[in-house]
Amino acid sequence: MERILEGRVELEGRLDKVLSQTFKLSRERVKESILKGLVLVEGKVVKKPSHRVRKGSLVLMHLLEEEKEIKPKEGSLEVIYEDEHICVLEKPYNLAVHPHPGNYENTLLNLLLSRFEKLSKIGGRERLGIVHRLDKEVGGLMVVAKTDRAHLNLQRQFKERKVLKIYRAIVVGKMEERMGVIDLPIGRDPRDRTKMKVFGINYKEAKSEYLLIKSGKNYSVLDIKIKTGRTHQIRVHLSFMGHPIFGDKKYGYKGGLEEILKGRIALFSKRLGFVHPTEGKYMEFERQEPKFFKELEERIAKS
**For the chain, what percent of residues have pLDDT higher than 90?**
76
Residue 267 confidence (pLDDT) above 60: yes
In the prediction, which pLDDT does 66 show? 60
In the prediction, which pLDDT does 183 show? 97
What does the CA dihedral 294, 210, 157, 70 come to, rounded to 10 degrees?
A: -40
Average pLDDT over residues 77-105: 93
Residue 234 confidence (pLDDT) above 60: yes
CB-facing half-sphere around the CA of 286: CA atoms within 13 A: 4
In the 8-state DSSP scheme, what is residue 149? H
Beta bridge partners of 62: 4
Confidence of residue 276 (pLDDT cuts 50, 70, 90): very high
Topology of domain 78-158, CATH? Pseudouridine synthase (3.30.2350)
Residue 1 confidence (pLDDT) above 70: no
164-302: what CATH class? alpha beta
* Rounded-to-integer distance, Cα 157 and Cα 137, Å: 25
Residue 81 confidence (pLDDT) above 70: yes
Confidence of residue 270 (pLDDT cuts 50, 70, 90): very high
Per-residue pLDDT of 62-75, as tens digits, reads 876 666 789 999 99
Which residues, at least 6 apart from 261, have a Cβ–Cβ distance to it below 8 Å?
246, 247, 292, 296
Largest CA distance in the chain: 61
Bin 245: left if φ > 0, else alpha if -120 < ψ < 50, else beta.
beta
CATH numeric code, 2-64: 3.10.290.10
- State the amino acid at position 272 in one-letter form: L
Catalytic positions are: 135
Query: Do residues 154 and 142 lie in contact, with contact meaning Cβ atoms separated by under 8 Å?
Result: no
Average of per-residue pLDDT values in the chain: 93
The domain ranges of the chain are 2-64, 78-158, 164-302
The yes-or-no answer to whether 78-158 and 164-302 have a common fold is yes
Which residues, at least 6 apart from 160, have a Cβ–Cβ distance to it below 8 Å?
none
Secondary structure, 3-state, 234-291: HHHHHHHCCCCECCCHHHCCCCCCHHHHCCCCCEEEEEEEEECCCCCCEEEEECCCCH
Query: DSSP states of 25-79 as a string?
Result: --HHHHHHHHHTT-EEETTEE---TT-EE-TT-EEEEEEE-------------EE
Look up the pTM and report it.
0.80
